Amino acid sequence: MLCAKMQHFEWGELPMRLMPVTDAMFLWGESREMPMHIGGINLYTLPEGADETEWLNDQLTLLRQSEGLRRPFSEVLKLTPFGQYGPIRLTPDRDIDMHYHVRAAALPKPGRYREMFELASRLHSGLHVRTRPLGEITLISGLPHRQIATFKKVHHALMDGAAS
């Protein structure tokens, strides 16, 4: 077994860490027919007196800040010439596009939970782009009772269901 010190590498100025084989197996086993990511929906009620549009814009601004973004959400896969079957390292993404990873979606009025689940199903069906960090979040508005939902999707190689 590798000791923790041996799992961190330096390549140029970017610190890298080796992905454990047990996590890499989720990359190896992934296909269009069997995606290997996890997802979840959370439902929130807006605070009393809060303007929905203003509140959503504030949350998007907050979530799209890349400063202080913690791993694994700030890391991208670094492959060897053997591709995903060689050692896989994770390195910080210095040019992360937070507008790609944090999105907003509005259900057509009157939004129902059924449409929210249909949207979540569509968002969950696509594979992650492996040249970007393997996590996304979508804020969903247009629900009844002043509710907002978040849909989060993370590749299973980075996080399991219990850790999420």
Active-site positions read: 156
Q: How many CB atoms lie within 10 A of CB 62?
A: 9
Geometric angle at alpha carbon 98, from 93 and 102, rounded to 5°: 130
CA neighbours within 13 Å on the CB side: how many for 134?
25
Q: Which runs of E-coded beta strand occur in the chain?
A: 8-11, 14-18, 37-45, 75-78, 89-92, 102-106, 135-141, 147-155
- Read off the amino acid at residue 24: A
